Copies of this chain bind each other. A is one copy, B any other.
Amino acid sequence: MAKFMDVHHGMKGVTAEQLQAAHQADLAIEGAEGVHFEHAWADPASGDVFCLSEAPSADAVQRVHERAGHRADEIHPVPLSV
């Protein structure tokens, strides 16, 4: 397992309810891929959303996001953290 930070662009105006619903959609199906989405942070002004996960691979992260209906624009392995 490894840590990943993925980024979604274009979610300008996202609301707290929409972010919560999107996160719940990920949580509902993540187990099938061995992924866990730990946190998500949204900037409604720029439309950027950042998701932190533990996952076996970036592809697994993307598969969960795609099936939940919100493909990530960037997925970064983040092996280093403080």
Cβ-defined contact, A5 with B77, below 8 A: no
Cβ-defined contact, B43 with A77, below 8 A: yes
Flag whether A44 is at the interface (Cβ < 8 A). Answer: yes
Q: Count residues on chain A whose CB falls below 8 Å from chain B CBs.
A: 26
Copies of this polypeptide in the complex:
2
Please provide the chain A residues from 49 to 77 with a CB less than 8 Å away from any CB of chain B in the complex: 50, 52, 76-77
Taken together as a complex, chains A and B put the C-alpha atoms of A49 and B80 apart, in Å, by 9
Please provide the chain A residues from 1 to 46 with a CB less than 8 Å away from any CB of chain B in the complex: 3, 5, 14-16, 19-20, 23, 39-46
Q: Which residues of A are interface residues toward B (Cβ below 8 A)?
A: 3, 5, 14-16, 19-20, 23, 39-46, 48, 50, 52, 76-82
